[in-house]
Amino acid sequence: MKKHPIRVIPLGGLGEVGRNMMVYQYGGEYLVVDTGLMFPENDMLGVDYIIPDFQFLLSKRQQIRGIIITHGHEDHIGAIHHVLQELNAPIYTTPLTRGLIEVKLARNGMLQKAQLNTVQAGEVIKLGPFQVEFFHVCHSIPDSVGLGIQTPAGLIVHSGDYKFDHTPVDNWPTDYAKLAEFSRRGVLALLADSTNATRPGWTPSERLVDEALDKVFSQAQGRIIIASFASLISRMQQVANAARRYGRKMAFVGTSMVDNAKMARKLGYLDVPDDTLIQVDQARNLPDSDVVLMCTGSQGEPTSILGRLSMGTYRLFDIKSGDTVVLSSHPIPGNEEAVFRTINRLFQRGAEVIYEEIAPVHVSGHASQEEIKLLLNLVRPKFVIPIHGELRHLKQHAALAMEVGVPKENITVLENGQVVELHQDHMRLAERVPASTVFVDGSGVGDVSPSIMREREALAQDGVVLVHLEVDQATGALRCPPDITSKGFIMNSEADDILSEARKRITTVAVGANGSLQKDVEQELRKYLYSEVRRSPTIFVNVSRA
């Protein structure tokens, strides 16, 4: 049998390489790892979220042996319903991740269609030429796995998101033994998480959060409101444990929190006794000192529950003096401004606010530099391909690999869509496949292009001005003064003088114009408005002839 090289194809979003989707290819067969989404950057106007462009897989539908999801965070499962619409391959994943996927698919009416298979960490499955071994890793959500992918051409280790936490909340450390065993078998390539590659030292244990929560619970007089991600099941567990220790009742607030908590309890990943768990309605009838609420909004999202609480627009209750609000999260880059604004607003409403900067109420779920070096030394791969990070993280991960002795030529920093071929004794950059991103806006997938966003940006910068002209077809003269309307351009109080002068100038131009009336008016108006207020609104000129 002819041996093929293993081909590695990172897809996904926004400069983070292979975070949302990775593809492994052996011969003509494919294995997909993760199907996540990204949140838009601040200048991606009107975009709800972003998914990987996986069009190059469409012609390979029949050759995809499976889709493996490493863990249940949005940046790894969030595009699953979009992917399943096009590629209905069987999905393999651990029980909690499966539960989170089911919640999401049910919401999109696609649960029936999906072929879901449960795998436990430690199990091995065979998918075509890929023999995939699931091994447990610690991360900020339980039931996360990394993958040992054995192919005829060698063994690949794919870390997924991981950290080496010695005292994780679920007491299940990363599987060191399995990593060492891979190393004995000989690892052709390691593809590993680079998120914290610029962070020196060792990421603190989740246990640190317990101590911080203890301090909060022992000092708070009134209600405690804790905001986090809806998928951060281990944080839910820590809050539930603190609630029990301090005799408070706990309620989850918001659909996604409630759904995920319910599912995780059912599957045994979240242990909250019945007499600790209450509904948010019941919480309102208890003394404040007996209550802890857990909700979403730790990223400062204005439509989240915490966002609405900070603005006083949440339907069920208001923030009041005596409340202690905990943001148990780290701002995703780009969200800092929104997060800090939310914190300031909560202070303004009288709450005490505890956040990462002033107390360790959150720790990262990703390996720092010493852990990255430990993984490299445990696995001792021939080739290293940093993934899960921006270019600056991948570069730093590459530098760490060189520090532990991996030769420079055995390390490759890729961009999304760049295919790399792994041979026994060398690796080689192959072709590029299309691997940009697809913007999802409203119900439309992929119908917002960069050019649409440039138009939106222009509209956002300086607004829009509309001119309507009624021209007498016979004489070419204006039948009435030009009609000018604007939005987002200038305030009414300022507009009168400017617009009346604009009307005069347009009239003058219109008299002299012939065929190019529309263009001439637009040009004149653009010139005049820029000279007057140094702005360039989007201008529409409409000419009606009768």
Where along the sequence are the contacts to a second copy (CB under 8 A)?
15, 41-43, 45-46, 198-199, 333-334, 336-337, 340-341, 343-344, 347-348, 353, 355, 357-358, 390-392, 395-396, 441-444, 447-449, 451-453, 455-464, 466, 468, 470, 483, 485, 487-491, 493-494, 532-535, 538, 540, 542, 544, 546
CA distance 19 to 21: 6
Residue pair 208/240 in contact (Cβ under 8 Å)? The answer is no
Q: Any idea what DSSP says for residue 32?
A: E
* HSE value, Cβ hemisphere, 13 Å, CA-based, for 288: 15
Residue 193 annotated among the catalytic residues of the structure: yes
Quote the tokens at residue 418.
């760049």
In angstroms, give the least distance from the CB of 94 to a second copy: 32
Query: What is the DSSP annotation of 82-109?
Result: HHHHH----EEE-HHHHHHHHHHHHHTT
> Which is catalytic among the residues 76, 136, 362, 366?
366
- CB-nearer residue toward a second copy: 125 or 460: 460
In angstroms, give the least distance from the CB of 142 to a second copy: 30
- CB-nearer residue toward a second copy: 250 or 517: 517
> Which is catalytic among the residues 143, 161, 193, 323?
193
CA distance 272 to 293: 13
CA distance 314 to 142: 31
- CB-nearer residue toward a second copy: 45 or 286: 45
In angstroms, give the least distance from the CB of 133 to a second copy: 33
- CB-nearer residue toward a second copy: 287 or 333: 333
Alpha helices by DSSP H, 3-134: 74-77, 80-86, 95-107
User: For residue 427, what are the CA distances in angstroms to 151, 189, 546?
Assistant: 16, 10, 71
Backbone angles phi, psi at 99, to 5 degrees: -60, -45
CA distance 159 to 178: 12
- CB-nearer residue toward a second copy: 198 or 241: 198
In angstroms, give the least distance from the CB of 488 to a second copy: 4
Nearest to 244, CA basis, from 264, 274, 203: 274
Q: Any idea what DSSP says for residue 163?
A: B
Quote the tokens at residue 490.
């200038």
Residue pair 357/329 in contact (Cβ under 8 Å)? The answer is no
CA distance 48 to 38: 10
Residue pair 19/13 in contact (Cβ under 8 Å)? The answer is yes
In angstroms, give the least distance from the CB of 341 to a second copy: 7
Backbone angles phi, psi at 198, to 5 degrees: -90, 5
Quote the tokens at residue 128.
């075509």
- CB-nearer residue toward a second copy: 255 or 449: 449
User: For residue 400, what are the CA distances in angstroms to 97, 157, 180, 197, 528?
Assistant: 31, 18, 20, 8, 57
- CB-nearer residue toward a second copy: 245 or 519: 519
* HSE value, Cβ hemisphere, 13 Å, CA-based, for 197: 24
Residue 462 annotated among the catalytic residues of the structure: no
In angstroms, give the least distance from the CB of 5 to a second copy: 26
Nearest to 33, CA basis, from 86, 82, 85, 89: 89
In angstroms, give the least distance from the CB of 462 to a second copy: 6
CA distance 404 to 376: 8
In angstroms, give the least distance from the CB of 46 to a second copy: 4
Quote the tokens at residue 100.
């989170």
In angstroms, give the least distance from the CB of 445 to a second copy: 10
Residue pair 276/294 in contact (Cβ under 8 Å)? The answer is no
Give 441's strand partners: 444
Strand order across the beta sheet in which 538-545 lies: 483-487, 464-471, 538-545
In angstroms, give the least distance from the CB of 244 to a second copy: 29
Nearest 10 degrees: CA dihedral of 35, 36, 40, 41?
A: -110
CA distance 42 to 54: 24
What is the set of active-site residues?
193, 366
